[in-house]
Structure 1
Amino acid sequence: MKRHRANPVVIGGFVVAALAILAVALMALPGLHWFKRPERVVMFFSGSVFGLQKGAPVVFRGVRIGDVTDISVHYDSTRDSFAIPVVAQLDADAVRGLDGRMGNDDIAHALPTLIARGLSAQLGTQSLVTGQLYVDLDFRTKPRGTLHGGYKGDATEIPTSATAFQALKNQLESVDLRKILDDLSQIAASAKSLVAAPELKQGMQDFAATAAHARRLAAELDRRAVPLTRGAESALASVDRAGGKVSTAADKLGDGADKAGALLDPKGAVVRDLQHAMNELAQASSALRDAADTDGPLLQQTERTLRELSQAARTLRQLARSLDAQPQQLLLGRQPDDGLPATTPASAKNRAEDRVQEPAR
């Protein structure tokens, strides 16, 4: 029997083709980075991560930038609580893209910078049917993510924040439903005792009596409303007439004010006449002051007249005394001075009084 020897070229080609197929398959597998250096990160979740599996995607606003590589349980004895550390590998190029430094090969500074800007992780649902979860990275400042710490490894920790559903669930879990039910039971018991109290029944009876009285009062007011309405209408008519009279008086007063304003106009004839009269009065007052002056001619003439009147009065008094002493002078005429009788004390007294009453020259 003749044996055929294997062709080395065929065998070598087969091996090369197999290696090529294997390389393509390895590169096509998701979540494996054969020619890229990944960035290890860890995220601590406090709630349930049921549905999150190894190989689950890590996305940033819908773009896949890494995969979950490990999920474990961590007990913190200082806080007496459990946390779920989720380790993932991020694509170095994607991390540099988030930082905006595509040309920098060292990405050690990229994640701390992004975390300082508010980068945090949340759990998202891939499918409502299967319940599979994924890790969602984004910049969140309200509320900011929290760091757990205490991871034993060379991974950078990314803060985590609870979703809206998880926050609501935590709030509901923190509510003491038993206490709320007890309070509601006490309120219901208090309401029941209040409704069954005799004071409430008496109050209802009083309210019914008050309502009946109010109805009677309303009927009485309705009965008396017609006269009151008529009286109000007549009063309103009287007020209207009085208002008309007041308006007429106001018009007349306005006309009088206009006339008074015209009379008191500084450029009017009345004001000019009053000003002219005041000027003449001022001139007369000045002339009167000049005439009343002690050194004025009028006062000197008055003094001379008074002196002459005084002398005439003295002469008449002397004539009267002479006639009193010698009445015969009217018939015989005046006797010489030698023939006159001696001066009596009365006549001497009269002459002294005349001298006293004579004004000083």
Structure 2
Amino acid sequence: MADRQTAIGAFVLGGIVLGLGTIVLFGNLRLWSPATRAAVVFEGSVSGLSVGAPVTFRGVRVGAVSGIVIQYDARTQTVLIPVTLQLDSGRVRVSDETAGQPVVDLPNLIARGLRAELNTQSFVTGQSVINLDFNPAAPAVLHPGASALVEIPTQQSTIQRVTQQLSDLPLRELAESAIATLESVRKLSDRLDSDLPPAIASIKATSEGATHMTDTATQAIVGVQEKLATALDHITQLAVNADRRLGERSGDLRVLLGSANQTVVQARDALRDLKGLTSDRGAARINLEATLRDLAATAASLRGFASDVERNPQLLLTGRRP
């Protein structure tokens, strides 16, 4: 009987040891690893966060959530949610080690900008994680008295900032403006449907009239061009005939002027001879002087006529007008 009880006790003890070993090996328990506890205080919702949720630093798991409580302040009518973090110091290597033991100085890290934010681990399951990172630009808002542990200040995550911006948008006003815009577009579309066909018909009629007018103007221009070409041909022929006649008359005029000049010279010679033959008071002298004056006047007239013809050869065709 005693041997049977001993065997049962040994079996139970072996089961306990095996169970503890399984928990240690597969339950992610670090019984011999140094751990650091800290607190993160949230003022808003921590939906999706539960005990055992991972705590990461830039995607690397450095601990887990070990406790979540709700703290209500009746005096200020505010609600805070302190979350206790169990940080695994063995996952952090510090360059200035003391006696071979890593030293994680949370207050120093917080002063250098260590902040915590709530992120969504999976949009399917809705589970959340706490991510740690350095952001010196984020203000360090602390909540004294919320927890006895070292508090790591929080900051809004990207999703929270986007959610906050979306919640701040005047969605109702934007929706009303969009509805009003769509209504205006609909009215404009209806007006275009009613006014556009007559306008298109009017434009089409105007275009056809302009086309007809252009064709008529083109035909008129072609007719004018033909008449101008005919007139230019007549003018050219007339100019050629006038040049030819002027050339013919010019030769006759040169012969006439030469003959007149020769006659004047002969008359002067004759007068010179007659002057020597007659006396100063004789009748013949007087007649000769009169004849000389007439010849001189005739020569002057011929020279004037010759000069006029040289300046205007058309006088041979038209003659002098009174």
Shorter-normalised TM range: 0.3 to 0.5
RCO higher in structure (CA 8 A, sep ≥6)? 2
TM-score normalised by L of structure 1? 0.44
TM-score normalised by L of structure 2? 0.48
**Structure number, greater radius of gyration:** 1
